[in-house]
C-alpha cells in the first residue's frame, strides 16, 4: 500500500505561560479563557528556538525512531505560515541540519493553517510514483498576535513531522481516504501582510468562515466518495479548543441531529479526549489538526487500530478539506506527556520579554555565539551578514532517543541559567 502515514512526531517550545496568569495580567475573567475558549496554557519560544529548530527537532526524532529512513527521503516539504525568508525555504535548513540525501526534492508551501494538509496530500501522490522512497512532511509555526488583542490568548507554537511511504502489510499509522471534500473561497478572515510580524484577524468572522468551510467540505466529501458512514473519532483544526466543540456541533446539526444533549454526549466520546494537548500548547497553526491526532494516539494507543477517524483541516483565506483515515497497527508513541512535563513555566513579564526578544532575533546583527551553550539538539544563533545561523548540537547526537526525553529536565534547568 503506497502513500500511507507510517509514523509521526511532535516538538514544542520549552516554555509556557498559564492562562490564569495571562487573565490576571490582562484583567480578563479566567473563565473566558479556560471555559469559553478552552485554553489552559500556551507555548512560548525561548532564546535559540524558532520555527526551523522546532521543525528540525520534530523531524530528527522521527528519523531516529525509524532506523534507515534518512537515506530514503526523496521529498521534504515544509508547511508553514511563519516563513523566515521570502525566498530561501525552511526545508533547505532542514536539509543540512538533518543530513538529508542530495537527491531529495525540497520546498516550502504556504496556505495559513492548511499548508500541512496540502503537503500531506502531495506526498501521498508522490509516494504512488516513488514506492521505494519516503516523504518527510514538517509543519512548523509560531502563532503570534498583538499583545492585548483578543487573539493573544490563542497563541502557541510547535511542529509536527510525518513520514509518508509504502507498507506491504498493516504496519503503518494511518491510511487516508482516497477522496477528500474541498471548499475554497477568497476571504480576509485572518491574514498577515508582509510588513507585519503579527497576524490580523476578524475573530467572529473567522469562526463563521471556518464553520461554513466545514459543512461545504463535508458535503463535497460525501458527494465525491459516497461515504457518509459514522466514524469512531473526529479531529478538527484547533485554533482554540472550543472551536472543535463549535465545529462538532455544527457538523452534527448539518447531519440532522438536533438534540443538544445527544450532541454533548457525542462530543465527550468522539472529540473531547483528543483535545488535551491542544489545551496546554495552544494554536500551532499548520500542525494543530495533527497535534489533536497525536493527543488521541497518546491517550488511546493501540486501541485505535482499525478504527476510523474524520479529519477537518482549515486554513484562513481560505481552504477547507474534510477527509477520513483508518488506523493501522503502528500507533505512534509521541512522548507528549514527558515533553510537556519538562517545560518551564514563565510569568507574563518573561513571556513579554521573550516575545520581544524573538522579534529582535530576526534582525541582521542578532548573532550571539553564547546561545551555542544552550543544550538543545538545534539552536538558532541569530542573523549574521543577513544569513541565519543554526548549530546542530553534536553532544545531543551521542545520546539515544530515550535518554533525550529523560535529559530534558536537566537541560531545561541549565538553559534557564542563561537568562
Ligand atoms: P473574543 O471575541 O474576545 O471572545 O475572542 P468572546 O467574547 O467571543 O468570548 C469567547 C467565549 O468565551 C464565548 O463563548 C463567551 O461566551 C465565553 P461562545 O459564545 O463562543 O461559546 N466567555 C466566558 N465563558 C466562561 N466564563 C466567562 C466568560 N466570558 C466569556 N467569564 C476570538 C475570541 C476567538 C474571536 C479571539 O480569541 C480571536 O480572534 N482568536 C484568533 C482567531 C481564531 O482563532 N479564529 C478561529 C477560526 S479561523 C482559524 O481557525 C484559522 C487560524 O488558525 C489561522 C490560520 O488558518 O492560519 C486562526
Ligand 1 centroid distance, CA of 156 (Å): 15
Q: Ligand 1 pocket test: which of 155, 190, 263, 290 has the largest number of ligand atoms within 8 Å of its C-beta? A: 190
Residue nearest to atom 58 of ligand 1 (CA): 239
DSSP string, 335-372: -HHHHHHT-EE--HHHHHHHHHHHHHTTSBT---GGGG
Lining residues, ligand 1, CB within 6 Å: 29, 31-32, 35-37, 81, 112-113, 150-151, 153-154, 189-190, 201, 203-204, 206-207, 210, 237, 239-240, 243, 283, 285, 314-316
pTM (2 decimals)? 0.95
Ligand 1 centroid distance, CA of 258 (Å): 23
Work out which ligand 1 atom sits closest to the CA atom of 314. Answer: 56
Residue 187 vs residues 216, 247, 319: alpha-carbon distances, Å: 15, 19, 10
Nearest partner of 401 among 67, 72, 98, 159, judged by Cα: 67
> What tens digit of pLDDT does each residue of 52-99 get?
999 999 999 999 999 999 999 999 999 999 999 999 999 999 999 999
Preceding omega of 318 cis (within 30 degrees of 0): yes
CB-based contacts of 298, cutoff 8 Å, min separation 6: 277, 334, 336, 337
The percent of residues above 70 in pLDDT, for the chain, comes to 95
The residues assigned a catalytic role are 81, 113, 237
Ligand 1 centroid distance, CA of 150 (Å): 8
Work out which ligand 1 atom sits closest to the CA atom of 317. Answer: 56
Ligand 1 centroid distance, CA of 58 (Å): 29
What pLDDT is recorded for position 400?
A: 52
What pLDDT is recorded for position 71?
A: 98
> What tens digit of pLDDT does each residue of 118-137 get?
999 999 999 999 999 999 99
The mean per-residue pLDDT over the stretch 161-178 comes to 96
Whether the predicted pLDDT of 416 surpasses 80: no
Q: Which residues pair with 59 in a beta bridge?
A: none
Mean pLDDT of the chain: 94
Cell of 151: 487573539
Amino acid at each position: 500500500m503506497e502513500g500511507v502515514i507510517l509514523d509521526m512526531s511532535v516538538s514544542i517550545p520549552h516554555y509556557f505561560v498559564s492562562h490564569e496568569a495571562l487573565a490576571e495580567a490582562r484583567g480578563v475573567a479566567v473563565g473566558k479563557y479556560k471555559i469559553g475558549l478552552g485554553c489552559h496554557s500556551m507555548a512560548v519560544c525561548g532564546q535559540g528556538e524558532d520555527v526551523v529548530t522546532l521543525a528540525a527537532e520534530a523531524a530528527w526524532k522521527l528519523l531516529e525512531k525509524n532506523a534507515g529512513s534518512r537515506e530514503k527521503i526523496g521529498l521534504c516539504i515544509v508547511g508553514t505560515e511563519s516563513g523566515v525568508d521570502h525566498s530561501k525555504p525552511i526545508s533547505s535548513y532542514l536539509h543540512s541540519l538533518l543530513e538529508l540525501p542530495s537527491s531529495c526534492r525540497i520546498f516550502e508551501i504556504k496556505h495559513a493553517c492548511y499548508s500541512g494538509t496540502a503537503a500531506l496530500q502531495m506526498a501521498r501522490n508522490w509516494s504512488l510514483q516513488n514506492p521505494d522512497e519516503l516523504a518527510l512532511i514538517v509543519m512548523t509555526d509560531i502563532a503570534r498576535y498583538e499583545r492585548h488583542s483578543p487573539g493573544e490568548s490563542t497563541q502557541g507554537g510547535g511542529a509536527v513531522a510525518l513520514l509518508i511511504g509504502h507498507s506491504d502489510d498493516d504496519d503503518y499509522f494511518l491510511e487516508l481516504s482516497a477522496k477528500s471534500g474541498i471548499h475554497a473561497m477568497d476571504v480576509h478572515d485572518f491574514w498577515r501582510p508582509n510588513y507585519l510580524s503579527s497576524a490580523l484577524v476578524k475573530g467572529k468572522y473567522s469562526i463563521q468562515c471556518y464553520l461554513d468551510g466545514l459543512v461545504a467540505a463535508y458535503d463535497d466529501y460525501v458527494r465525491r466518495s459516497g461515504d457518509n458512514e459514522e466514524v469512531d473519532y473526529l479531529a478538527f483544526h484547533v485554533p482554540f479548543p472550543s472551536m472543535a466543540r463549535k465545529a462538532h456541533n455544527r457538523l452534527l446539526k448539518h447531519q440532522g441531529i438536533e438534540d443538544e444533549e445527544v450532541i454533548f454526549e457525542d462530543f465527550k466520546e468522539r472529540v473531547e479526549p483528543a483535545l488535551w494537548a491542544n489545551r496546554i500548547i495552544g494554536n500551532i497553526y499548520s500542525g494543530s489538526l495533527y497535534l489533536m491526532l497525536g493527543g488521541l494516539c497518546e491517550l488511546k494507543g493501540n486501541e485505535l487500530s482499525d478504527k476510523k477517524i474524520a479529519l477537518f483541516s482549515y486554513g484562513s483565506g481560505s481552504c477547507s478539506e474534510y477527509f477520513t483515515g483508518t488506523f493501522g497497527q503502528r500507533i505512534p508513541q509521541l512522548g507528549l506527556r514527558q515533553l510537556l512535563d519538562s517545560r518551564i513555566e514563565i510569568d507574563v513579564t518573561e513571556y513579554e520579554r521573550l516575545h520581544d526578544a524573538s522579534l529582535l532575533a530576526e534582525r541582521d546583527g542578532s548573532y550571539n555565539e553564547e546561545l551555542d551553550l544552550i543544550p538543545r539538539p538545534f539552536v538558532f544563533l541569530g542573523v549574521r551578514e543577513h544569513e541565519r545561523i543554526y548549530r546542530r548540537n553534536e553532544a545531543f547526537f551521542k545520546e539515544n532517543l530515550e535518554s533525550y526525553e529523560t535529559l530534558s529536565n536537566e537541560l531545561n534547568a541549565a538553559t534557564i541559567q542563561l537568562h
